[in-house]
Amino acid sequence: MIHTRQCSSLEKIFSDEAPRCEGFLGASVLLGERASFQLAFCSDGDARVSAMLSGSGAPDCQCFWVEEVPSSLPCFTDSDDYFLRRTPGYYPDLLRPADAPCEVPAGVWRSLWVTLCVEELLEGPLTVRVTLRNEKNGESATAAFRFTQIPSRLPKQTLLCTHWFHADCLATYYDVPVFSEAHWAILERYIRCAAEQGINLLLTPLFTPPLDTAVGGERPTVQLCAVSRKNNKYYFDFSRLDRWFRLCRACGIERFELSPLFTQWGARFAPKIMATVEGKPCRLFGWETDADSEDYTDFLTQLAAALLPFLEQAGVKELCYLHVSDEPSEEDLEVYARRCALLRRIFPGLPTLDALSSLAIYKTGLVECPVPANSHIEAFVGEVSQLWTYYCCGQHKDYVSNRFFAMPSLRNRVLGFQLWKYRCTGFLHWGFNFWYARFSTRALDPFTETDAGGSFPSGDAFQVYPGADGVALLSLRLRVFYEALQDQRALQRLEELTGYDATLAVLEEGLETPLTFKEYPHSEAWLLTARERINAAILLASRG
């Protein structure tokens, strides 16, 4: 016999534990929204389960089996208590397309993840019936989900959202030469996938990004700007960069963050820059190059003189941000200030964007768009014209939003409410597909090693898995994150109709304390109910 439980997207179904969900029967949805839900199941005997959908919503659904993947480091020892589990083991995360049956041992729980894409208003109820069938004995079970369409469309996403895109990891995993035609084909699939999940700002490797690289080490060269040198003059070929811009825009990317021009954690050295000198490839700059050196300053000056007109001609200059150095500290202030001053002088008109959680550094006026961690963002509220935020492995305390394997999905999705309330302009995450160990010391298999070589809690370093034929496989974490982005857009729609204060009152109805980045109810029912309340208010306001 097949046993089932109807669950929302906020449940994580573990193989060794019956779901605790109360029974998710459906929800209201806005036009243009993707609504995800799950049907958890187990069988009394070994089963080979296939899935079939029917009902008016079935043609607009995508189905995935949720697979568990191993985690040796689910959390740090000093993490807060808002985790589902804290022990190494297997965690539900990978979404594999359900185009083939799923093998399920007796008594083991699994789930089918369904995403309903609601584009146009249909007459009558929107229903999705999910039938699971054991191919071994013909037994089946059916569950029905019902969705109420709200005749109001989600507004276009205005939040700038980046998850750092690691082009070198793609070349390494799929074993293709960098910027070969095979690599470009894979890049296109992954860039399109990123755009479909709400990522509209993409890390662009002018030169190999000096990110998460051991001092003295290097990552595979992914350099879009070809450089040659003759008689102390540099010549630049931007044909690959032009192809990158055209590809990204065709895939739905709207803005670009140019890779840092100085090393991470202090801006003390130059990134790896390759060039052709006297007909031979060589490394011009790298860890051996002091960032203050006359040679590197001259190189950057000549680069800016060539790059700015190209960006203007390509129609992307107004769409670009410039990175100086990732995560400088107050101890680095003097050095960082010199780097910022140089780039501001030679790259006029390009705003700087850096992960920066020190308000003191921001107040020096060095960076136009600081990106503080959500554990430090309160100090920046009201102090910046454009409020950004990010999280990474460091955000595992004080209940701030994040999306490690071991965290509840609510902790992932609540970010959408927070981004709207605080009128955030942008969100940054460092790992869309970082499939290396920490400091990029070696490649790893993200299906078996999910913690960057025992350094970062599983779920921090990547949001997608490498599928066959260069196709990205989604994580349930990325799907839930997209739902957070939709929550923000729904609040924006209500704000358009009723104003900010009235919308905030709807969001915070019933709360004992106002919603903050650290304080919110740790209840899936609260979030789902709040979203239903928002939708109901949109329906009422749109009727006039």
- Mean pLDDT along residues 74-81: 98
CB atoms within 10 A of CB 458: 24
Answer yes or no: is pLDDT of 248 > 90.
yes
pLDDT at 123: 83
Alpha-carbon Rg for the chain in angstroms: 24
479 in a structural domain: no
Per-residue pLDDT at 428: 98
144: domain CATH number is: 2.60.40.10
Q: Which residues contact 496 (CB under 8 A, 6 or more apart)?
A: 155
Residue 63 within a domain: yes
- Residue 114's domain spans which residues? 2-154
What pLDDT is stored for residue 328 in this prediction?
A: 87
Residue pLDDT, tens place only, 505-519: 999 999 999 999 999
In sequence order, which ranges of 175-293 are alpha helices (DSSP H)? 181-196, 239-251
Residue 232 predicted with pLDDT over 90: no
User: Which residue matches tokens 């949805």?
Assistant: 29
Distance CA 212, CA 7 (A): 38
Residue 478 tokens, joined: 């990325």
Percent share of the chain, pLDDT over 70: 100
441 occurs within a structural domain: no
Instruction: Give CA torsion, residues 100, 106, 107, 110, to 10 deg.
Output: -10
Confidence of residue 399 (pLDDT cuts 50, 70, 90): very high
Residue 42, domain member (yes or no): yes
Cα distances (angstroms) measured from residue 201 to each of 50, 179, 191, 253, 254: 38, 21, 10, 6, 6
Residue with tokens 């490797």, as numbered in its chain: 205
Q: What is the largest CA-CA distance in the chain?
A: 79
Q: Is the pLDDT of residue 456 over 90?
A: yes
Inside any domain, residue 397: no
Task: Encode pLDDT of 188-201 as tens digits.
Answer: 999 999 999 999 99
Binning pLDDT at 50, 70 and 90, where does residue 83 land? very high
Region 402-428: what's the mean pLDDT? 98
Flag whether 119 is in a domain: yes
Model confidence pTM above 0.85: yes
Residue 124 has pLDDT above 90, yes or no: no
Task: Give a yes or no: residue 410 inside a domain.
Answer: no
Q: Please answer whether residues 372 and 379 qualify as being in contact, where contact means their C-beta atoms are separated by less than 8 angstroms.
A: yes
Which of 72, 16, 102 lies closest to 446, judged by CA? 72
How confident is residue 330, by pLDDT bands cut at 50, 70 and 90? confident
User: What pLDDT was estimated at residue 265?
Assistant: 87
Q: If you average pLDDT over every residue of the chain, what do you get?
A: 96
In a domain, 540, yes or no: no
Rounded average pLDDT over 241-269: 96
In tens, the pLDDT along 490-502 reads 999 999 999 999 9
How many structural domains are present in the chain? 1
**Is residue 73 pLDDT above 80, yes or no?**
yes
pLDDT higher than 80, residue 22: no
